[in-house]
Structure 1
């Protein structure tokens, strides 16, 4: 028994006439009648009974028609789902992200843009470090990663989403908040909190190296994994920490103050990362296109290009 036999049978059941069913199916009536006879012999039951110039379903035929319709509907659904997944319209994507990046805006913008492109695709966000993301990408357990570091592995593609200056986050009541300018030497006697070194090894190294270059020893008194706990300690004035300028708006709502450090020249970036061999997969391509759409860096480059072209046209028009 094949699926086409079920489709033929259901059409005949609906038309209650072999001739009309054959016309609807675009087949000859004689082969259609023969295939239904073969179906009855295979099943060992009579599905049709003559009635006037047409046919009617037997009791067995009525039950079989209900089951056949259900089977065909399930097959159609399965085919549609398979096509949807192959075309990137259905399925589930898993995004690994570093703790803290959700506060910075670019990740949320990426998710929103991707949701607009693929509203029927499920989305799962899993917190993990950049190193964990790269391993998960190689193993195929996540679709893309979003973090503070770019991979050096050719097997992984990446796109820089944003770049922002690192500065100091402190309570408005802290003594440093009263200084007109803050330098690294002003931090030497302060309690400094950072997120774990194993999650942000380069950031730790860059901060410590920058301080050492200025002859300053920073006192990192604790490494706090939970960002909310870290901010709470800064709010009460118990310590200071380093975060990017993007944190200014959400931090100000939490009674925190962001200040630049004059001799600290560190920029932090955010990257979308994917497995290079998956770049042409529809759902990954949709994620990459969404990232390009909302990336402040790419938007800034596009704005500069447009401005440059407009300036050239203006100069030519004056000639």
Structure 2
């Protein structure tokens, strides 16, 4: 089993598409397909479930992706440590929920671009559920998630700043005239809810009663799409402030009362060695944090 084949495999895991993986690797699609088939034959397991448009990992594939990522990271780290004079290169993939606190992460990326210009950073916008899954599969190096979320199997850094939960409504909604939204205001509304389990539990606790149920007509994982549903009249969306710019739009964000704040964290798997590029990013991020953070 060669490192080159593991890199092919991990690129396909990341892209979920052989054609895109082949394009990024600058090799032919038949080459990738043949190498993956040889790898499955060598291991004696099926790594992928191949669909018409994308491919997904089997349970064995999820496990092997985690192990393969660690092997490649260790190999890259060993090479970098042997040749300290070589300019730092590599790539970092960050899976991120939509959060205003991404500002600190963006500043760290900018600082890294100065100290290590050959390192490429990719941002993949998704929800915390997929961030967790892809971190464990070795696809993401880091994740940015909204609290509360279970972090028992993760190392983490709490990012500075907070934002507030509120309701995104159309300007012609009766609620648009309010300065704050109470739990009672939501009872008769058509609600579009976030999909993240931690957020759902957090909001349920804010409602203040176990038997209080909302009329949830749709769910979302990216707020931009949810804002389109609000604009189309599907319902009002429970969401975080500072993500959708409502200026010059037909939408209005109204905070919840009592105020419900949200924080975010940068997370990465425990006991998984970081690549030199990922270590450099983490160093850049920590340099931006307050001394007591």
* SS state at 1:147 partner: strand
Question: Is 1:206 paired with 2:202?
Answer: yes
**Deviations for 1:12-56, whole angstroms, at most 9, x for unmatched residues?**
xxxxxxxxxxxxxxxxxxxxxxxxxxxxxxxxxxxxxxxxxxxxx
CA contact (8 A) 2:157 2:267 kept: yes
CA contact (8 A) 2:165 2:262 kept: yes
Q: CA RMSD in A?
A: 3.4
Equivalent-residue separation in structure 2 for 1:210 and 1:224 (angstroms): 20
Give unpaired runs (5+ residues) of structure 2: 1-78
Equivalent-residue separation in structure 2 for 1:181 and 1:125 (angstroms): 33
Residues 256, 84 of structure 1: alpha-carbon distance in 2 compared, 3 angstrom cutoff: farther
Give unpaired runs (5+ residues) of structure 1: 1-81, 303-319
Equivalent-residue separation in structure 1 for 2:240 and 2:218 (angstroms): 19
Residues 279, 293 of structure 1: alpha-carbon distance in 2 compared, 3 angstrom cutoff: farther
Match of 1:224 in 2: 220
Residues 237, 157 of structure 1: alpha-carbon distance in 2 compared, 3 angstrom cutoff: same
Match of 1:122 in 2: 120
Equivalent-residue separation in structure 2 for 1:251 and 1:104 (angstroms): 19
**Deviations for 1:152-202, whole angstroms, at most 9, x for unmatched residues?**
32x521011143221222222221111244311012111110232xxx101
Question: Is 1:259 paired with 2:258?
Answer: no
**Deviations for 1:86-140, whole angstroms, at most 9, x for unmatched residues?**
7681011121223x24896444334333323321112223344434433433443
CA contact (8 A) 1:169 1:234 kept: yes
Equivalent-residue separation in structure 2 for 1:116 and 1:140 (angstroms): 26
Taking structure 2 as the reference length, the TM-score comes to 0.60
Residues 177, 293 of structure 1: alpha-carbon distance in 2 compared, 3 angstrom cutoff: farther
Shift of 1:288: 1.8
CA contact (8 A) 1:137 1:274 kept: yes
Counting only pairs closer than 5 Å after superposition, residues 1-319 of structure 1 correspond to structure 2 as 82-83=79-80, 89-98=88-97, 100-101=98-99, 105-149=103-147, 150-153=149-152, 155-161=153-159, 162-196=161-195, 200-213=196-209, 216-247=212-243, 250-263=245-258, 265-277=259-271, 281-294=275-288, 298=290
CA contact (8 A) 1:169 1:242 kept: yes
CA contact (8 A) 1:85 1:91 kept: no
CA contact (8 A) 1:235 1:254 kept: no
Shift of 1:219: 1.1
User: Which one has a bigger Cα radius of gyration?
Assistant: 1
Shift of 1:208: 2.3
The structure with more helix, counted as a fraction of residues: 1
CA contact (8 A) 1:104 1:247 kept: no
Residues 84, 97 of structure 1: alpha-carbon distance in 2 compared, 3 angstrom cutoff: farther
CA contact (8 A) 2:169 2:176 kept: yes
